[in-house]
Amino acid sequence: MRPIGNLELAGSALLVLLLALLHLRSSPRLSRDLLISMLRLILQLSLIALVLNLLFAQQNPWTVAAIGLVMVASAGWEVRRRLKKRPLMQNLFRVSFFSMFLSSYVMCIFALTLITRAEPWYHPQYAIPLLGMLLGNTMNGISLGLSRLQENFSNNRAVVEHRLMMGEDMWQASSLQRQEALTAAMIPTINGMAAAGLVSLPGMMTGQILAGADPEMAVRYQIMIFLLIAAGTGFGSWLAIYLGTRQSFDERQRLRSPKAPASH
Amino acid sequence: MQAELEITSLQVTPLQPWSGRFQAGELISITGASGSGKSRFLLALADMTAHEGSIRWRRQEQASLPPPQWRSKVMLLPSNPSWWFASARDHFQQGPTDKDLEALRLNQSLLDVPVEQLSTGEKQRLALLRVLDRNPEVLLLDEATANLDDEGALAVESLLLRWLREAPRLIFWSSHHREQIKRLSGRELHIDHGCIRERKP
């Protein structure tokens, strides 16, 4: 593996810098956002490298679990931040945190104990990257699913309410909106799997091959990761949509409105 | 005589607390300017909006029943009915009888046309049949004949009167049509400045 030094990294940063300069006059905001997120990327990933080195030396399962929880919590905040409108569902953070936690932890433990089978199984070299990969993708799915559910409920309020008036319960009345939200949550994963290798080389595999790994092994790992992501995103967004729907109706099964202040 | 529908200190914004009792077989008109709260009143009866007070239908308290069960008995047809499946037929459980369709000057073939291709009047009449298809006991109609011509309105009226006599049933009906109110209802609830008052139709 050819090591990459600071000079080489600075070279790639120069390209983004150039791009930001190019747009400075016409859209200063875009340039600013671009630069800030570039700095965040460099800073956050450098920190992670330090943390990973520390973790690898320690191999304490509780530290691994704690780091994982911090990751899930930040993902939960991210889901909340991405919702544009005021949510009509209550406890949005709890809904996304819980569904992300359950799906990514279960998938991760499944993969670590039955597939990678490292010694010990929670070895941070496997556990942390796997969890990160899973979380990033389930977060996208859950965030897509929940914001689509919100949109569907506000755009189709009349339909959902009319179905309730006809005596349907909240699950029947919201069935079309829930199905559509679940599809929206799963489509990026489904498309990603279908296009892998033909249109795009998945990032993880590319990184491994660039770092000198055997392509066949890299592909095997990539397939495993993809399948775990599909299952994790699927179960996670299904759970989030289920919980989100419950939180969108009040105790008399009426669709909440976003104006109502949260009661708890 | 035991009242079939008993409303006690019903409080729903913007209306002042109100109580009333109704017997099966009655057809009650709700009148008042637009925005006076006619729809809010009907929404409260269907438990579709937050409200205080008690509403009982045949000794069953609204709050004691699961909402879907209450709404299956006390069913509201809003002024702008929604359609969520492709054809009207998909919205029916049993499907309307030829007799009912004919009474409203509709026919079976309309049921399979994509809903967007139906006229507003056709949709309004089909929405009414769709509600009757679920066998409610109390029917809450919000401007049910607003988009119909006189002939269509008369057809709906006679269908509803027949329906009302078939079993111990009750109809609340909000309307702007003075003649219709006089023709049909035994009682009228008039809403003015948040006050519900009963008066002779």
What ipTM was predicted for this assembly?
0.95
Considering only the beta carbons, identify the residue of A165, A176, A252 that sits closest to B78: A165
- Residue, of A262 and A180, whose pLDDT is higher: A180
Which residues on B lie below 8 Å from A168 (Cβ)?
Answer: 68
- pLDDT at position B173 is 93
The answer for B 24-83 residues in CB contact with A (under 8 A) is 46-50, 66-69, 71-72, 75-78, 80-83
A145: pLDDT strictly greater than 60: yes
Confidence of residue A87 (pLDDT cuts 50, 70, 90): confident
A196: pLDDT strictly greater than 50: yes
Considering only the beta carbons, identify the residue of B49, B80, B131 that sits closest to A158: B80
- pLDDT at position A264 is 43
The A-side interface with B (CB below 8 A) comprises: 156, 158-159, 161-169, 176, 250, 252-254
- pLDDT at position A54 is 85
B58: its two tokens: 């045949």
**What's the domain range around B114?**
5-199
A248: pLDDT strictly greater than 60: yes
DSSP A115-146: II--SSTT-HHHHHHHHHHHHHHHHHHHHHHH
- pLDDT at position A167 is 97
- pLDDT at position A66 is 87
Contact A168 B81 (CB under 8 A): no
Number of domains present in the structure of chain B: 1
Measured in whole angstroms, the distance separating CA A22 from the mean position of its chain's CA atoms is 31
Q: How far apart are CA A194 and CA A215, in angstroms?
A: 19
B134 backbone dihedrals φ, ψ, rounded to 5°: -90, 5
Respond yes or no on whether the N-terminal peptide bond of residue B14 is cis (omega within 30° of 0). yes
If 0-12 CB within 10 Å is exposed, 13-18 middle and 19+ buried, where does residue A171 land?
middle
Q: Residue B23: which CATH number?
A: 3.40.50.300
Mean pLDDT by 10 residues, chain B (201 residues): 86 94 94 92 97 95 97 96 96 93 94 95 95 96 90 93 94 89 89 92 79
Which residues on B lie below 8 Å from A252 (Cβ)?
Answer: 47, 50, 67
- pLDDT at position A120 is 87
Name which of A128, A135, A133 is nearest A50 in CA terms.
Answer: A128
Contact A165 B84 (CB under 8 A): no
A67: pLDDT strictly greater than 70: yes
Considering only the beta carbons, identify the residue of A158, A176, A253 that sits closest to B67: A253
Name which of A68, A90, A103 is nearest A150 in CA terms.
Answer: A90
Mean pLDDT of A156-185: 97
Residue with tokens 């976003």: A258
Mean pLDDT of A97-124: 90
Mean pLDDT of A13-40: 93
Respond yes or no on whether the N-terminal peptide bond of residue B67 is cis (omega within 30° of 0). no
- The SS3 assignment for B154 reads helix
- pLDDT at position B89 is 95
Q: How far apart are CA A84 and CA A74, in angstroms?
A: 18
Name which of A102, A45, A116 is nearest A69 in CA terms.
Answer: A102
Contact A167 B77 (CB under 8 A): no
Interacting residues of A92 by C-beta distance below 8 A, sequence separation 6+: A79, A80, A83, A146, A244, A247
A263: pLDDT strictly greater than 50: no
Residue with tokens 């006619």: B38
- pLDDT at position A197 is 82
A166, A170, A179, A259, best to mutate vs chain B, most B CBs in 10 Å: A166
